[in-house]
Amino acid sequence: MDIVDHLNAIRQDVPACRAVVLADLTTRVILCVSAEDRPPQERLDALCDTAIRLLDSDTSRVLARAGQIPPLEALVFSADGMEVFLRTPTLPDEALCCLCGPDVDVDKLMEQAHGRLAQIGAA
């Protein structure tokens, strides 16, 4: 199964998820995109930058010093919808970024995305 098939499967299972992106956080490169209407490259680059800012920043270090586990997930909610970011310890350089509508089922999205990311990492 190709990476894009995994990303497509997330969108199929979670209808309010409009786009799924796999990004390399160390090189800031978009590796794969699944979307009915592909967002412009600037939008994808901005998404990657947000993932880096939220998942790989000094905030994690401050939380770690306070005894908290550094975050593997992050979300941004706005009137336009939700951006959801996640990564897995087995694939620490890469992150899934999802663009969703405001009524997305986050429980289902997280379950699907973590499962698919684990399969991508194991391939």
Partner 1 sequence: MLAQLKGGEDGVEDSAETDDMFAPVLQEIGETVLPRELRFRNDRGEELALIVSARRVLRISEILPGALAAKFPALAEHPLSKDAGPQLQAFRELLETFFAGTEELSVTSTRPSTEATTSDIGWGTDLLTRLWSENGPGAGREPEQDLLSALCDAAAAHIIWTAEEITGRKGPDSALTLLQSLAKTEAMARPAGADAGPVCTVLPASDDHGMALVDLRDGDVRALFLLPGYGAARIARIWQGSGIGRG
Q: Contact 99/81 with Cβ under 8 angstroms?
A: yes
- Residue 78 as a binder of partner 1 (CB under 8 A): the answer is yes
The residues near 83 (Cβ < 8 Å, ≥ 6 apart) are: 47, 50, 75, 76, 97, 98, 99, 100
Q: Which of 4, 106, 118, 119 is the binder for partner 1 (CB under 8 A)?
A: 106
Q: How far is the CB of 57 from partner 1 (least distance, A)?
A: 4
| Only segment of 19-27, 33-41, 68-76, 90-98 that touches partner 1 (CB under 8 A) | 68-76
Q: Which of 1, 5, 53, 90 is the binder for partner 1 (CB under 8 A)?
A: 53
Q: Contact 86/51 with Cβ under 8 angstroms?
A: no
- Residue 117 as a binder of partner 1 (CB under 8 A): the answer is no
Look at residue 27 and give its three-state secondary structure: coil
**How far from the centroid of its chain's Cα atoms is residue 121's Cα?**
14
Q: Which of 37, 58, 122, 123 is the binder for partner 1 (CB under 8 A)?
A: 58
Q: How far is the CB of 1 from partner 1 (least distance, A)?
A: 26
Q: Give the Å distances, CA to CA, from 21 to 30, 66, 84.
A: 7, 31, 10
Binding site for partner 1 (CB under 8 A): 46, 50, 53-54, 57-60, 62-63, 66, 68-82, 84, 102-104, 106-107, 110
